[in-house]
Amino acid sequence: MPPRRSSRLQARPLAGASAQQPVDADDGADPETQEPTTRPKKRSKRATGKTAAGGTSGEQKPKLRGNRGKLANFTEMPLDILFEILEHMRPVDILHIARTTKALRGILMCRRTAISIWKAAFSNCPDIPECPDDLNEPQYANLMFLKHCHGCLKPNAKAYWRIRARYCSRCAGERAVTFASFGSDGLYIPMQVIPPRSRSEVRRYIAGSSIAAFRETLNALPSEEERQAFKQACQERERRVIQHVIDCEEWVRKQKNERSRELEEIRDRRYSHIVDRLFDMGYEPERDTIESSAFWNLPQVKHSKELTDREWERILPDLVAYITQQKEQRIRYNRPYRLRSAVEIVKTLVEAYNMRQPPDQPTLAVADVCLLPPFKSVILDTPPDIEITAESFGDAMDLLPQLTPAWFEASTDQLVARIAEITSHEATRQSLELATSWFGCAAAVTCQVAPHHGASIITHHHMHFSLQSDVETRSAYAELSFAFGALKHGPWRPESFELVRGVPELVRACGLDPESATAAEMDALDPWVACRGSRCAKPVEHGEGKGDIKVFNWRAAVQHALYTHRYSSAAPTVWNMLDAKQTEHARSAARPQLEAAAIEVHVCMRCRERVPRGLDNMNLWHHTRGIHSDANRLGADSKPEEFGIVHGLPAPPPKNITLPVSLFQC
Q: Is 226 inside a domain boundary?
A: yes
**Number of domains composing the chain:** 2
Compare 23 and 374 and report the one with higher pLDDT: 374
Are 377 and 463 part of one and the same domain? Answer: yes
Residue 534 inside a domain? The answer is no
Give 178's pLDDT tier (boundaries 50, 70, 90).
confident
- For the sheet with 191-194, list strands across it: 176-178, 204-207, 191-194
Lowest mean pLDDT among 131-135, 189-193, 570-574: 570-574
Q: Is the pLDDT at 13 greater than 50, yes or no?
A: no
Residue in 45, 44, 36, 153 with CA at minimum distance from that of residue 103:
36
* Phi, psi of 82, deg, nearest 5: -60, -45
- Amino acid 410: pLDDT: 93
More reliable by pLDDT, 500 or 610: 500
Same-domain status, 399 and 252: no
Between CA 601 and CA 609 the distance in angstroms is: 11
Q: What does the pLDDT read at residue 315?
A: 95
Which range among 22-31, 103-112, 140-149, 653-662 shows the weakest confidence by mean pLDDT? Answer: 22-31
Instruction: Let me know if residue 23 belongs to a domain.
Output: no
Residue 229, phi then psi, degrees to nearest 5: -65, -40
DSSP labels for 318-377? HHHHHHHHHHHHHHHHHHHHHHHHHHHHHHHHHHHHHHTS-TTS----HHHHHTSHHHHH
**Any domain includes 5:** no
Residue 660 maps to a domain:
no
Is residue 463 one of the residues assigned to a domain? Answer: yes
Size of the chain in residues: 666
Same domain? 410 vs 456: yes
User: Mind giving me the DSSP string for 104-154?
Assistant: HHHHHT-HHHHHHHHHHHHHTSTTPPPPPTTS-HHHHHHHHH--S-TTT--
Contact status, residue 612 vs residue 448, Cβ threshold 8 Å: yes
d(CA 122, CA 128): 8
Give 578-604 pLDDT, tens digit per residue: 888 888 988 898 888 777 665 566 777
Please say if the pLDDT value at position 637 is more than 50: no
529 forms beta bridges with: 552, 577
Q: Which of 607, 578, 604, 572 is nearest to 590 (CA)?
A: 578
Q: What is the 3-state secondary structure (H, E, C) of 185-248?
A: HHHCCCEEEECCCCCCCCCEEEECCCHHHHHHHHHHCCCHHHHHHHHHHHHHHHHHHHHHHHHH
Q: Is the dihedral angle over the CA atoms 135, 137, 142, 145 positive or is it negative?
A: positive
* Interatomic CA distance for residues 357 and 346, integer angstroms: 17
Q: Which one, of 166, 175, 115, 119, lies nearest residue 143 by Cα?
A: 166
Asked whether the predicted pLDDT for residue 63 surpasses 50, the reply is yes
The number of CA neighbours under 13 Å toward the Cβ of 205 is 20
What is the reported pLDDT for 36?
Answer: 41
Average pLDDT value for residue range 415-434: 90
Among 44-48, 317-321, 421-425, the range with the most confident prediction by mean pLDDT is 317-321
* pLDDT of 459 higher than 60: yes
Q: Is 335 helix (H, G, I), strand (E, B) or coil?
A: helix
8 Å CB contact between 513 and 435: no
The answer to whether 558 and 438 are in contact (CB under 8 A) is: yes
Query: Would you say residue 66 has pLDDT above 60?
Result: no
Q: What is the mean pLDDT of the chain?
A: 78
% pLDDT > 90, the chain? 32
Q: Of 307, 325, 358, at which residue does a domain stop?
A: 307
Q: Give me the phi and psi of 98, to 5 degrees please.
A: -65, -20
Q: Of 247, 272, 307, which marks where a domain is finished?
A: 307
The answer on 386 and 262 residing in a single domain is no
Is residue 52 over pLDDT 60? no
Beta bridge partners of 438: 453
What pLDDT is stored for residue 34 in this prediction? Answer: 42
Q: How confident is the model at residue 636 (pLDDT cuts 50, 70, 90)?
A: very low
Say which residue, 253 or 495, is predicted with more confidence.
Answer: 253
Mean pLDDT across 124-147: 91
Confidence class for position 69, pLDDT limits 50, 70, 90: low
Alpha helices in 281-298 (DSSP H): 287-290, 293-296
Q: What is the mean pLDDT of residues 486-513?
A: 84
Centre a 10 Å sphere on the Cβ of residue 523 and count the other Cβ atoms it contains. Answer: 14
Of 170-174, 178-182, 226-230, 630-634, the range with the lowest mean pLDDT is 630-634
Asked if pLDDT for residue 75 goes beyond 80, the answer is no
Q: How many CA atoms lie within 13 A of 580 on its CB side?
A: 0
Give the DSSP letter of residue 404.
H
CA distance 594 to 414: 33
Phi first, then psi: give them for residue 177, nearest 5 degrees.
-135, 160
The whole-number pLDDT of residue 592 equals 83
Query: What is the signed CA dihedral for 198, 203, 208, 210, rounded to 10 degrees?
Result: -130
Rounded to whole angstroms, how far apart are CA atoms 468 and 483? 18
pLDDT(614) > 70:
no
DSSP H helical ranges for 485-579? 503-509, 519-525, 554-564
Instruction: Give the integer Cα–Cα distance in Å for 606 and 348.
Output: 10
262 and 339: one domain? no
DSSP 372: S
| Per-residue pLDDT, 53 | 43
For residue 645, the model assigns a pLDDT of: 65
Separation between Cα atoms, residue 660 and residue 548, nearest integer Å: 5
Of 69-73, 234-238, 463-467, the range with the lowest mean pLDDT is: 463-467
Half-sphere exposure (Cβ direction) of 398: Cα atoms closer than 13 Å = 4
Each residue's pLDDT tens digit, 522-533: 989 999 988 877
Query: Looking at the predicted structure, is the pLDDT value of residue 2 above 70?
Result: no
Split at pLDDT 50, 70, 90, the class of 497 is confident
Q: Model confidence over 372-417: pLDDT tens digits?
A: 999 999 999 999 989 999 999 999 999 999 999 999 999 999 999 9
* 346 and 475 part of one domain: yes
Task: Kindly indicate the confidence band of residue 15, based on its pLDDT and cuts at 50, 70 and 90.
Answer: very low
Beta carbons of 15 and 26 less than 8 angstroms apart:
no
Higher pLDDT residue, 545 or 95? 95
Domain assignment present for 548: no
CA distance 457 to 254: 81
Tell me, yes or no, whether 396 and 296 share the same domain. Answer: no
Regarding whether 361 and 240 lie in a shared domain, the answer is no
- pLDDT band at 505; cut points 50, 70, 90: confident
The answer to whether residues 492 and 458 touch, using CB atoms and an 8 Å cutoff, is yes
Q: Does residue 412 sit in the same domain as residue 464?
A: yes
Does 388 lie in the same domain as 450? yes
344 with 481, same domain: the answer is yes
Residue 559 forms part of a structural domain: no
pLDDT per position as a tens digit, 311-323: 999 999 999 999 9
**pLDDT band for position 49 (50/70/90)?**
very low
Q: How confident is the model at residue 14 (pLDDT cuts 50, 70, 90)?
A: very low
Residue-level pLDDT at 611: 65
Choose the most confident range, by mean pLDDT, from 31-45, 162-176, 276-290. Answer: 276-290
Residue 310 sits at φ, ψ, to 5 deg, of: -65, -40
- The answer to whether residues 355 and 406 belong to one domain is yes
pLDDT at 493: 82
Domain containing 228 equals 221-307
Is the N-terminal amide bond of 451 cis, ω within 30° of 0? yes
- Helix axes 394-423 and 309-355, enclosed angle (nearest 10): 70
Q: How far apart are CA 550 and CA 541, in angstroms?
A: 11
With pLDDT > 70 as the criterion, what percentage of the chain qualifies? 71
H or E segment at 547? none
